[in-house]
């Protein structure tokens, strides 16, 4: 069995979607499971919330997840992080990788953030987003992990104790990756090998050449080269009734999706100032507004969003709750209120927001359904006895019309 851990909830569904496409019966657990999956599984993905927490806490949570995966019988492991390598010089990609490798006793692993279908490629160790160097993309202004450097080996070396190497695209395409890995000189600790990839064929070659490694790391793109037993994917049915979109991400892609959705559906923007002074009143008013909208048209989605323009991103106050945490808390509370009001289908934008929402709903396990866009898929889960369809979307993924068109993919 393949055991995987993802550093946020959207990353977990993103990886699971890729594994399902490769024929793996895949289960996503929300946090470390106390027991095994409800049904048979060829892969288990544990969704964590470790991308932006303190490195020591991220390492502890990841090690705990690894122990659980080994108890479930996993023999190979996948450390999944964002394809834009979202992290800071302190971590958390490097520290987690170092800890997993140490616990598994492995001396070599690969680092493959490339996800060509979503426009993420690595050439000569430089990470590009739709052809633009990472440091010149919108990720440069990320409020939590501003990415001001495009050099993956340099980014990794700043936060990892491993000896960092690079295998260029020419070796990948010549079929020489396995030989290049075998020829690397021994080091006293871990060797982390950044591998270039520009196309899905490159990822296929990397997956084949690294099949002997107990631990691989990267974005979800690398999973497209793995071979499962060929189990057909599940197709989820629409549940009917109220629908909602909750958008906490400040990314450029989500802002564009919000702008498009505002022209098509009832919408409200979170008032952070009001949430600070009257949290319960603000959330209650939004819940009442959504119920009123659904009373007029129960199938029309409503949209609640946090950021329309980058200027909406509030700097952390000198005292009091940071705006990002306040937004997560408000949207997760709204998700619960919407579920109580009969909403059974939710689109959630943002990795941190998705984690807060799924936790608030009490969902512990997700079944992966049909894909919507690269890295974006419908999933279903039990929310305290209520089956819900959930689309957990990384802030950077999806086309402009995703918030309005994704519903059509449900059978």
| Strand-pair category, 376-383 with 132-133 | unpaired
pLDDT tens-place string over residues 338-391: 999 999 999 999 988 999 999 999 999 999 999 999 999 999 999 999 999 999
Q: Does 3.40.50.10840 match the CATH number of domain 2-225? A: yes
The answer to whether 407 and 300 have CB atoms below 8 angstroms apart is no
The pLDDT, as a whole number, for residue 314 is 55
Task: Kindly report the length of the chain.
Answer: 411
User: What percentage of the chain exceeds 70 in pLDDT?
Assistant: 98
Q: How far apart are CA 77 and CA 286, in angstroms?
A: 42
What does the CA dihedral 177, 179, 183, 188 come to, rounded to 10 degrees?
60
The tokens 């695209």 sit on which residue?
169
Whole-structure pTM value: 0.87
The pLDDT, as a whole number, for residue 411 is 67
The tokens 């909403």 sit on which residue?
343
Q: How far apart are CA 241 and CA 342, in angstroms?
A: 7
pLDDT tens-place string over residues 250-280: 999 999 999 999 999 999 999 999 999 999 9
Q: How far apart are CA 150 and CA 155, in angstroms?
A: 8
Asked whether the predicted pLDDT for residue 299 surpasses 80, the reply is yes
The answer to whether 294 and 242 have CB atoms below 8 angstroms apart is yes
Q: What is the average pLDDT value for the chain, to the nearest integer?
A: 94
Please count the other Cβ atoms lying within 10 Å of the Cβ belonging to residue 13: 31
The answer to whether 301 and 244 have CB atoms below 8 angstroms apart is yes
pLDDT tens-place string over residues 319-345: 578 888 999 999 999 999 999 999 999
- DSSP letters of 279-348? HHHHHHHHHHHHHHHHHH-TTS-EEEES-SSGGG-PPPPSSS--HHHHHHHHHHHHHHHHHHTT--EEEE
Asked whether the predicted pLDDT for residue 313 surpasses 70, the reply is no
Q: Which two tokens stand for residue 53?
A: 């927490």
The pLDDT, as a whole number, for residue 166 is 98
Q: What are phi and psi of 391, to 5 degrees?
A: -115, 110
Backbone φ/ψ region at 119: left (φ over 0), alpha (ψ -120 to 50), beta: left
Helical ranges in 119-263 per DSSP H: 152-157, 169-174, 177-183, 200-209, 252-262
Asked whether the predicted pLDDT for residue 316 surpasses 60, the reply is no
Q: How far apart are CA 194 and CA 408, in angstroms?
A: 39
The pLDDT, as a whole number, for residue 39 is 79
The pLDDT, as a whole number, for residue 142 is 81
Domain boundaries in the chain? 2-225, 243-409
- Residue whose C-alpha is closest to residue 199's, from 119, 111, 116: 116
| DSSP single-letter state for residue 354 | H
Listed range (13-17, 88-92, 315-319) with the worst mean pLDDT: 315-319
Topology given in CATH for the domain delimited by 243-409: Molybdenum Cofactor Biosythetic Enzyme; Chain A (3.40.980)
More confident residue, 211 or 141: 211
- Residue whose C-alpha is closest to residue 222's, from 99, 116, 371, 107: 116
User: What percentage of the chain exceeds 90 in pLDDT?
Assistant: 87
Q: Which two tokens stand for residue 209?
A: 């050449």
Asked whether the predicted pLDDT for residue 230 surpasses 50, the reply is yes
Taking residues 109-120, report their average pLDDT.
96
| Strand-pair category, 132-133 with 126-129 | antiparallel
Beta bridge partners of 383: 386
The pLDDT, as a whole number, for residue 318 is 45
């Amino acid at each position: 069995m393949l055991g995987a851990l993802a550093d946020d909830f959207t990353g977990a569904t993103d990886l699971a979607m890729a594994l399902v496409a490769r024929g793996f019966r895949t289960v996503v657990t929300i946090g470390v499971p106390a027991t095994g999956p409800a049904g048979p599984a060829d892969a288990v993905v544990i969704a964590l919330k470790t991308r932006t927490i303190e490195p020591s806490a991220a390492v502890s949570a990841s090690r705990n997840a690894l122990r659980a995966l080994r108890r479930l019988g996993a023999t190979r492991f996948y450390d999944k992080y964002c394809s834009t390598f979202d992290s800071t010089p302190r971590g958390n990609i490097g520290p987690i990788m170092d800890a997993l490798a140490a616990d598994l006793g492995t001396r070599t692993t690969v680092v493959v953030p490339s996800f060509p279908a979503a426009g993420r490629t690595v050439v000569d160790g430089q990470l590009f987003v739709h052809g633009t160097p990472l440091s010149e993309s919108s990720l440069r202004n990320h409020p939590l992990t501003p990415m001001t450097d495009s050099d993956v080996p340099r980014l990794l070396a700043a936060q990892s104790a491993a000896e960092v190497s690079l295998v260029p695209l020419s070796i990948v395409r010549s079929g020489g990756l396995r030989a290049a890995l075998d020829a690397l000189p021994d080091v006293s600790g871990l060797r982390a090998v950044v591998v270039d990839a520009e196309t899905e064929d490159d990822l296929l070659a990397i997956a084949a050449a690294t099949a002997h490694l107990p631990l691989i790391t990267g974005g979800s793109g690398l999973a497209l080269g793995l071979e499962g037993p060929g189990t057909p994917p599940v197709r989820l049915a629409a549940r009917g009734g109220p629908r909602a979109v909750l958008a906490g991400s400040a990314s450029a892609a989500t802002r564009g999706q919000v702008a498009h959705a505002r022209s098509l559906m009832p919408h409200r923007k979170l008032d952070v100032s009001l949430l600070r002074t009257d949290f319960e009143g603000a959330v209650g008013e939004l819940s009442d507004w959504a119920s009123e909208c659904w009373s007029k048209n129960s199938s029309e989605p409503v949209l609640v969003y946090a950021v329309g323009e980058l200027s909406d991103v509030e700097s952390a106050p000198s005292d009091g709750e940071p705006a990002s945490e306040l937004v997560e808390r408000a949207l997760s509370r709204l998700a619960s209120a919407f579920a109580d009001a009969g909403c059974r289908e939710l689109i959630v934008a943002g990795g941190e927001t998705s984690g807060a929402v799924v936790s608030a709903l009490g969902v512990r396990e997700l079944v992966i359904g049909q894909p919507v866009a690269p890295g974006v898929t419908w999933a279903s889960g039990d929310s305290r006895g209520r089956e819900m369809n959930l689309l957990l979307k990384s802030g950077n993924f999806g086309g402009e019309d995703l918030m309005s068109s994704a519903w059509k993919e449900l059978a």
